[in-house]
Amino acid sequence: MSPRYPWLIFDADNTLYDFDAAERNAFVELMRSLRAGNPEELYPLYQNINHAVWHDFEAGRINADEVKVLRFRRLFEQLGLEADAGAASDHYLSFLGRHNELLEGAREIVERLSRRHRLLLLTNGLTRVQRARFGSSEIAPFFEHIIISEEVGAVKPQAAIFDIAFARMGHPAKKDVLMIGDKLSSDIAGGQNYGLDTVWYNPGRLPLPARPRPTYTISALRELPALVD
């Protein structure tokens, strides 16, 4: 019997990979190298700045190169720190590329699903970081395709990146494809607007929004097989 969804599109960060841990560790390494205060105390400020910058990126207001530097320029301005934002970004990306920790159960679930489904990884990310992380990742071999936004010049939730994904998959019927991710504004809105069923990975059990409205919601990756097989 064929699975309900022959193709599964996964988001990467905070869906399969523990990006929060990777980001924190890379930031701490960077700030220690700059000897700039207490990294743990400064991290929430960086998070707020970084989220705002990525929001502008996903909305198409800035490009990937601007993301890399702008977040550190704004951080250093707020701290009154005289440091080269470009050099800091370069060091940070090197640190970040070394961290590819998986979320609990991710490897087992991906391996299990790959036996009956075809898998594609679709990430809004920077090529240098994601290729380094995926290149040494134990789950990367289970994916037939890995699409990184910076490489293709489009980001979720834009339809263009889903067009690229569907071309890589050989243009399956949309009813045969499921989008799985943790971010409502990019993964769920993007998939929904493209006409796909979606799974919101919501480990924090946040309230279900009115819009975008995911087809399914899970709080643990182990819940996925029951939905897709």
Length of the chain: 229
User: Coil, strand or helix: which one is 217?
Assistant: strand
Residue 65 has pLDDT above 80, yes or no: yes
Q: Which of 47, 147, 28 is nearest to 99 (CA)?
A: 28
**For 46-56, how does the pLDDT look when each residue is reduced to its tens digit (9 = 90+)?**
999 999 999 99
Instruction: Give 4's contacts (C-beta < 8 A, 6+ positions apart).
Output: 227, 228, 229
- What is the pTM for the complete model shown? 0.90
**pLDDT confidence bin for 37, thresholds 50/70/90:** confident
Dump pLDDT digits (tens) for 208-229: 988 999 999 999 999 999 999 8
The radius of gyration computed from the CA coordinates of the chain, to the nearest angstrom, equals 18
In angstroms, the CA 134 to CA 104 distance is: 17
**Domains of the chain as residue ranges with CATH:** 7-17+102-228 (3.40.50.1000), 20-97 (1.10.150.240)
Catalytic site includes residue 18: no
Among candidate residues 11, 13, 18, 182, the one labeled active-site is 11
The percentage of the chain sitting over the pLDDT mark of 90, rounded to a whole number, equals: 95
* Residue 121 bridge partners (DSSP): 10, 146
